[in-house]
Chain A
């Protein structure tokens, strides 16, 4: 079987792309010219000033953002876990 697309196949692909492109443009027009994050906030009804932003006093890894030592710890833990899995399962 050859891997080169025939003209007919390319036309079918182009038609699919055109249909989806039109749908995407319609969706873009309805939702308005806003950034993807603003569009998401608009879809969920979250205010742009943070919405569901969690409090800093997180729980079980929910407050590790911005703490490089915790990141490093997690990465080290994952490395150890991967090494252990590699040794145990002989992948």
Chain B
């Protein structure tokens, strides 16, 4: 079982959080999923291309989750910002839920961590989706918008990770909260270095998609 964090995904085994906090994060995650489900149901007809895209995103992100990059001691990319930009926050929430369940099934993070991880990933999805569209008024280029939205979303994901760990506490940890905060801040700082790589990759993918298939992204044209 992996132990630690790579990007903003909590790779802790079951038992690291107390059962109370496991239930709390799961409950919040289920509320988010319920909201997403409600939104999807409220849409009369979902674009089937978006469903196909979501399936591809799920497969690609799950695969990339398992690929260890030998940088800063070993990290992996997330693709959660790309998911948010491509399929939106509602369907993106389902995508990250499935990824987290499948990841837990192969020991990539505990089952009890799915709630907290889902919360982090949904934040990344929502921030990326929102910023990518909001920045259109400032940046015309999809590469720049995608890159900045990715950086910002992964930064927010790291913040969420720190908050969740500080609020929940890790069983067996003897450090004070301020010491934990300092340590996790350094960890988040290193994670941002990896976020740069993901930002460039996401920006290139988005720019390429808009160039060859602009219809896959609402409101975009080459």
Residues of A within 8 A of B (CB): 1-6, 9-10, 12-13, 16-17, 20-21, 23-28, 30-31, 33-46, 51-55, 58-65, 71, 74-75, 78, 89, 91
Determine whether B31 belongs to the interface, using a CB cutoff of 8 Å to chain A: no
Tell me what chain A mostly uses at the interface: helix, strand, loop, or mixed.
helix
Q: Which of B56-64, B115-123, B179-187 contacts A (4 or more CB under 8 A)?
A: B179-187
Given A4-B141, A25-B193, A44-B173: A39 and B15 interface contact (C-beta under 8 Å): no
B126 to A: closest C-beta gap in Å: 20
* Contact present for A13 and B221 (CB under 8 Å): no
B50 to A: closest C-beta gap in Å: 13
Chain B's interface size range is 35 or more
CB pairs A–B below 8 angstroms (16 shown): A3-B140, A3-B141, A3-B210, A9-B140, A24-B192, A27-B186, A28-B189, A36-B74, A36-B187, A43-B183, A44-B175, A52-B16, A52-B172, A54-B13, A62-B110, A71-B105
- CB contacts between A and B, total, < 8 Å: 192
* Contact present for A21 and B193 (CB under 8 Å): yes
* Contact present for A5 and B141 (CB under 8 Å): yes
| A-facing residues in B28-66 (Cβ within 8 Å) | 37, 40-41
A46 contacts which of B74, B147, B172, B200 (Cβ < 8 Å)?
B172
